[in-house]
Amino acid sequence: MNAIEFIFAGMLAAATPFLLAALGELVAERAGVLNLGVEGLMALGAVLAFIIVYHGGGHFLGFIVAGLGSAALSLLFALVTLGFRANQVAAGLAIGILGQGLSALFGKTYESLTVKGLPKLALPALSELPVIGGLFIQDVVVWISLAATLALWAILAYTKLGLIVRAVGENPKAAHAIGYSVISVRIFAIAFGGAMAGFAGAYAAVVYTPLWADGMIAGRGWIAIALVVFGTWLTGRIFLGACLFGAVSLMGLAAQATGLDVPSQLLSSLPYLVTIIVLGIISADRRLLKLNGVASLGEPFER
């Protein structure tokens, strides 16, 4: 397998933690809530899933517990920001730190232990294609993530639920005036975002790299938040951005495998360098951000 085939084979799996967390953050931000605690929510989900799988509970149960645990922590963020109208940026950072602290506490006795991952499922014929055939050999979570991306796009774009979420984010006072509960919609969006971050962390810990190490999320939560801006709050662009970052994260390994004489520290920093560059480019286009941005993002709602 050459470097290009290696990147195509692993791109979707590498993109899945970014994609799941970014989709959850997209829903929260579409409802007008900025949650910067995604990194900690992913870390908590990762350790909970690992503990469940390590003790024989199975991957399905591990994902469920991870989603519920991270959703519960995100509801603490909802209580502080929606109930007490605390600053969303400060509260999100605090929740992120709390999640990372809890993951370090719960995972202390599991350091460097491993679990069994999930088998790959290949699509007939497509998986035999030259160069890009590896794209069609993925584990079940990757296939579910792709389906979830399509479903979320359809819900936000074409359903009444999606319209309500977007209305609450754009003009919460108008949504409240016509009878929608802004607080309830935002609580739902925050819990959904927390659950998706938990799923993302679970995938990273028990499927993509099935071992536990403190700090293993390694900034993926921050990249997921950046992906929402990178995709200008559009589901399709967020998916493409996740694939881009997934491919970039594999370039370091591919370069090392080919014997390229580049410091490993520089190669491992590639996803973060790309994040900074892309955000700089996107932020320069004020028209695009204004066109697709969320009008009340980060603003507290008062009846």
User: pLDDT value at position 252?
Assistant: 74
CA 4 from centre of chain: 25
pLDDT in tens, 213-237: 999 998 999 999 999 988 889 999 9
Q: What is the mean pLDDT of the chain?
A: 91
Lookup result for tokens 């199975």: 58
- What share of the chain has pLDDT > 90, as a percent? 72
User: pLDDT value at position 256?
Assistant: 67
Residue 229 neighbours by CB distance under 10 Å: 21
Neighbouring residues of 60: CB distance < 8 A, sequence distance ≥ 6: none
Find the Cα–Cα–Cα–Cα dihedral 75, 225, 145, 272, rounded to 10°: -140
* Dihedrals phi, psi of 131, to nearest 5 degrees: 65, -60
Q: Residue 146 is which amino acid?
A: L
Which of 168, 162, 152 has the alpha carbon at shortest distance from 236?
152
Q: From residue 199, give the alpha-carbon distance in Å to each of 30, 41, 64, 75, 127.
A: 20, 9, 8, 16, 26
More confident of the two residues 280 and 50:
50
Which of 214, 215, 241, 232 has the alpha carbon at shortest distance from 282?
232
Q: Is the pLDDT of residue 81 over 80?
A: yes
Q: Is the pLDDT of residue 17 over 80?
A: yes
User: pLDDT value at position 19?
Assistant: 97
Lookup result for tokens 């794209």: 135
User: pLDDT value at position 248?
Assistant: 87
Q: Is the pLDDT of residue 296 over 70?
A: yes
Lookup result for tokens 């730190």: 97
3-state secondary structure of 74: helix
Q: Is the dihedral of CA 69, 70, 75, 77 positive or negative?
A: positive
Work out the average pLDDT over 6-15.
Answer: 91
Work out the average pLDDT over 52-61.
Answer: 96
- Secondary structure (DSSP) of 178-195: TT--HHHHHHHHHHHHHH
Do the strands 120-122 and 137-139 form a parallel or antiparallel pair, or are they unpaired? antiparallel
pLDDT in tens, 110-164: 999 999 999 999 998 888 888 898 999 999 999 999 999 999 999 999 999 999 9
Residue 53 contacts residue 60 (beta carbons within 8 Å): no
3-state secondary structure of 276: helix
Work out the average pLDDT over 244-268.
Answer: 75
Q: Is the pLDDT of residue 191 over 90?
A: yes
Residue 112 neighbours by CB distance under 10 Å: 8
User: pLDDT value at position 257?
Assistant: 66
User: pLDDT value at position 96?
Assistant: 97
